Amino acid sequence: MASTDPIKVGLLCSKTGTTSLLEMSQWRGSVQAIEEINERGGINGRELIAVHYDPASNPAAFRDLAERLILKDGVRVIFGGYTSTSRKAMLPVVEKYNRLLVYSQQYEGFEYSDNIIYSGASPNQNGVQLADFMTETFGARVYMIGSRYVYPYECNRTMQELLLQHPEGAILGERYLSLEARREQFTEVVADMRKKAPDWIFSTVIGKTVPYLYEAYMEAGFDPTRMPIASLNTSETEILAMRKGAGSGHFTAAPYFQSVDTPENHAALVRHQARFGPAQPLDMNWESAYYQMHMFATAFEVAGSDEISAIMPQLLGAEFAAPQGRVRIDPVNHHMALYPRVGRANVDGQFSVLRESKFAVPPDPYMTRQTLGDWVTKLSTREY
Amino acid sequence: MNSRRDSVQRSLTGSILNRNLRVLVLHPQDDDGLTLTSHLRRVGFNVETRWPPAGVLSDNVDLVFRALLPEERAPKDEWLGPDAPTLISVVAFENPTFIDQAIKMGSDGIITTPIRASGLLATIVMALRHAKQARQSAQRIASLEQKLLDNQQLREAKAILMLMHNFSEPDAYEMLRAQAMAKRVTVDDICRSVIQAGAVLQLHARIRSADSGSID
């Protein structure tokens, strides 16, 4: 292959289906990074281009399209996947052909593959901080509502273990609705919340049904200053999809919000608004896809190839000045050191950051070193 | 050559494999289901497959593979229970949620998808062996518990006879044994009758206190 040939990477971001809203955020993050890389002259003078397919939020399509990217398009690195189910569908494919998958979504942890970089938050980088903040502020009697698949189950189990370390900790309800659930089903769950009267609601509702929960809550006339919803995934993008004001006053823990105050974030926001319009918000999905593409390009420049054996050593341990702060790929577990933050949504659909780590918190995807309010969390929130 | 073979202990794994195992695979017919069934057949087991897992099992199944789907929260198959065959759960996510679920179902082993041929045989052998040991241990504990109970009754019955008739302990035992022989029942049955009679005659309290050493 000539040294001027373009470099192709695969993008699997759904344009349709239950999680398309968030996967299009990932797509914008990847595309913005690719355009920035090409504007500064590409990778070692070679243009970076993306082969994008739409898996329509369907795990089987993720698997088939990953195989197609590898076999038909000759792609060596694939970026994509929102649900754990879609990641799991691609895992055997990239392992079989020994290719690299960059999964940029926060997820429930408990996985490792030689062929995957997990660049979103691990549960110790959002769940622990959320539990800490919410129990301190509102209490530890919690109602759990989630989508019916592996991420919410495991995420709730982790949250439950953290809450039950608290003397008053209690799970007052645990409900799961389909990713395709109807709006009325949330009205029914919200009625149950009124009966149980928890201190707060932990939502692992995913994708297009997220607005249904917040809107049902608003219709019920609940007060977010007394019984708020807290989540690890409700971002600016979901809030934009809600009726105005429905997200306001609720909490999310994530390493990134559009409101993060760093020079890198301000610069990226300006370019994003120029490219995708001022109404289009940034979110955690955009950010992780964005920095991950840049980190790939930097690693490729050094390795001279995206053959996994050549590029992986360059990725492991790599650092990057991301919009959220300086992030690092952990060379042992392939997850990332990130900056946990807790934000409260305001009326404009943006988050006011209430707490943030001063230092990057190393990933602990198997949650073997976590207790509520332990020194890891304390250290990460010091000076706030 | 024969002498060498005799001196070698029989392989535990070999003896498990030689039993012509009947394996039931409760797994969707996807890539993992096919990898699993074709490897089990390759090894030489009798393999049956079924999905969905509803229904009862035929009597002679030795080993069941059961897929735990992420959408299923707490599977409760009809055939699960203390007398169920050895069970290996197949999970898609190797996290505490699914591992706990497999444990709650009574699994003797867990394998994770994507299924690979390598590692399967070792898991099967260990699961069968542990399940067999657990069953044998449970039976042994049950019989020891029964023995303990019988012993206790024998002691009580002897004490009643010793008190009533001023027998020595060997004489009391001899009387119980002779009664059992004559009535063609077990010594334990006679003991139970003596204890019942003792209760009617309200000898119990006195024996208990004598037994524990406090004399009134």
Find out whether A150 and A108 touch, Cβ atoms under 8 Å: yes
Instruction: Say what the pTM is.
Output: 0.85
pLDDT band at B182 (very low <50, low <70, confident <90, very high): very high
Mean residue pLDDT across chain B? 86
Report percent pLDDT > 70 for chain B: 89
- Residue B214 has what pLDDT? 43
B17 and B114 together in one domain = yes
How far is it, in rounded angstroms, from Cα B22 to Cα B41? 10
CATH topology of domain A124-259+340-380: Rossmann fold (3.40.50)
Q: Which helix (H) or strand (E) holds A201?
A: strand A200-204
B residues 76-135 lying closer than 8 A (beta carbon) to A: 92-98, 113-114
Q: Which two tokens stand for residue A301?
A: 């420049």
Give the domain range for residue B7: 2-118
Q: Which two tokens stand for residue A213?
A: 């929960």
B166 and B72 together in one domain = no
CATH of the domain at B82: 3.40.50.2300
Per-residue pLDDT of B201-212, as tens digits, reads 776 556 555 555
- Parse chain A into domains and list their residue ranges: 7-122+260-337, 124-259+340-380
How far is it, in rounded angstroms, from Cα A285 to Cα A267? 18
B132 is a domain residue? no
How far is it, in rounded angstroms, from Cα A66 to Cα A333? 23
Q: Name, in order, each residue with C-beta under 8 angstroms of A313's C-beta and a sequence gap of 6 or more.
A: A303
**Taking CB atoms and an 8 Å cutoff, what residues of chain B touch A95?**
114
**Taking CB atoms and an 8 Å cutoff, what residues of chain A touch B93?**
84, 88, 110-111, 150, 154
Q: Which helix (H) or strand (E) holds A253?
A: strand A251-254
**Taking CB atoms and an 8 Å cutoff, what residues of chain A touch B31?**
92
Alpha carbon of residue A61 to chain centroid? 21
B60 and B111 together in one domain = yes
Q: Which two tokens stand for residue A244?
A: 């105005």
Angle made by CA atoms A340, A345, A348, in degrees to the nearest 5: 135
B112 and B200 together in one domain = no
Instruction: Report the residue of B95, B113, B115 to disrupt the A interface, i.e. the one with the largest count of A CBs within 10 Å.
Output: B95
How far is it, in rounded angstroms, from Cα A252 to Cα A169? 20
B101 and B201 together in one domain = no
**Taking CB atoms and an 8 Å cutoff, what residues of chain B touch A110?**
93-96
Burial of A145 (0-12, 13-18, 19+ CB in 10 A): buried
Would you tell me how many other CB atoms lie within 10 Å of the CB of residue A118?
Answer: 27
B184 is a domain residue? yes
3-state secondary structure B42-96: HHCCEEEEECCCCCCCCCCCCEEEEEECCCCCCCCCCCCCCCCCEEEEEECCCCH
Would you tell me how many other CB atoms lie within 10 Å of the CB of residue A315?
Answer: 24
Per-residue pLDDT of B87-102, as tens digits, reads 999 999 999 999 999 9
pLDDT averaged per 10 residues in sequence order, chain A, 384 residues: 84 97 98 98 96 97 98 98 95 96 95 96 94 95 96 93 91 96 96 97 97 98 97 97 96 98 97 96 97 98 96 98 97 96 96 94 88 48 37
B85 and B164 together in one domain = no
- Residue B8 has what pLDDT? 63
B89 and B49 together in one domain = yes
Angle made by CA atoms B33, B39, B43, in degrees to the nearest 5: 145
Q: Who among B31, B93, B114 is closest to A110 (CB)?
A: B93
- Residue A380 has what pLDDT? 44
Q: Who among B73, B94, B113 is closest to A110 (CB)?
A: B94
Indicate if A124-259+340-380 has the same CATH topology as A7-122+260-337.
Answer: yes
Q: Which residue of A has its CA nearest to B68?
A: A150
CA distance B9 to chain A (A): 40
How far is it, in rounded angstroms, from Cα A288 to Cα A283? 9
Find out whether B193 and B154 touch, Cβ atoms under 8 Å: no
The neighbouring-strand residues paired with A203 are A145, A231
Angle between helices A284-303 and A308-315 (to 10 degrees): 120
CATH of the domain at B192: 1.10.10.10
Q: Who among A85, A95, A111 is closest to B70 (CB)?
A: A85
* Pure H helices in chain B: 2-7, 12-17, 31-43, 96-104, 120-165, 169-183, 187-200, 204-211
B125 is a domain residue? no
How far is it, in rounded angstroms, from Cα A303 to Cα A8? 16
How far is it, in rounded angstroms, from Cα A295 to Cα B193? 85
- Residue B96 has what pLDDT? 92
Q: Who among B31, B94, B96 is closest to A157 (CB)?
A: B96
B77 and B166 together in one domain = no
Report the C-alpha dihedral over residues A37, A38, A40, A41, rounded to 10 degrees. 120
Q: Who among A148, A157, A176 is closest to B97 (CB)?
A: A157
B203 is a domain residue? yes
Burial of A225 (0-12, 13-18, 19+ CB in 10 A): exposed
B24 and B87 together in one domain = yes
Per-residue pLDDT of B61-88, as tens digits, reads 999 999 998 777 777 888 888 788 999 9
CA separation, residue A208 to residues A22, A183, A222 (Å): 9, 10, 22
How far is it, in rounded angstroms, from Cα A255 to Cα B65? 41
Q: Which two tokens stand for residue A334?
A: 């392939």
Q: Is the pLDDT of residue B193 over 50?
A: yes
**Taking CB atoms and an 8 Å cutoff, what residues of chain B touch A153?**
70, 73, 97
B93 and B154 together in one domain = no
- In this structure, what DSSP letter does residue A348 have? T
Q: Which residue has the tokens 């780590």?
A: A357
Bin B179: left if φ > 0, else alpha if -120 < ψ < 50, else beta: alpha
A111:B114 CB<8 A: no
**Taking CB atoms and an 8 Å cutoff, what residues of chain A touch B71?**
148-149
Q: Who among B31, B95, B113 is closest to A110 (CB)?
A: B95
What is the β-pairing status of strands B46-50 and B63-68? unpaired
Q: Which residue of A has its CA nearest to B97?
A: A154
How far is it, in rounded angstroms, from Cα A197 to Cα A247? 19
Would you tell me how many other CB atoms lie within 10 Å of the CB of residue A160?
Answer: 18
Q: Who among A84, A95, A148 is closest to B93 (CB)?
A: A84
Angle made by CA atoms B7, B12, B13, in degrees to the nearest 5: 125
B171 and B102 together in one domain = no
B136 is a domain residue? no
- In this structure, what DSSP letter does residue A209 have? G
Q: Name, in order, each residue with C-beta under 8 angstroms of A66's C-beta and a sequence gap of 6 or more.
A: A10, A12, A78, A89, A90, A93, A94, A101
B112 and B164 together in one domain = no
Instruction: Report the residue of A116, A153, A366 to disrupt the B interface, i.e. the one with the largest count of B CBs within 10 Å.
Output: A153
How far is it, in rounded angstroms, from Cα A306 to Cα A103? 16
User: From 3.40.50.2300, 3.40.30.10, 3.10.180.10, 3.40.50.300, which CATH number describes the A7-122+260-337 domain?
Assistant: 3.40.50.2300
Which residue from A168, A139, A171 is spatially nearest to A157, judged by alpha carbons?
A171
Find out whether B47 and B41 touch, Cβ atoms under 8 Å: yes
A154:B94 CB<8 A: no
Collapse the DSSP code of A245 into the 3-class scheme (helix H, G, I; strand E, B; otherwise coil) and give the result: coil
How far is it, in rounded angstroms, from Cα A107 to Cα A105? 6
Q: Which residue has the tokens 């041929």?
A: B117
B130 is a domain residue? no
ipTM surpassing 0.85: no
Instruction: Report the residue of B93, B110, B112 to disrupt the A interface, i.e. the one with the largest count of A CBs within 10 Å.
Output: B93
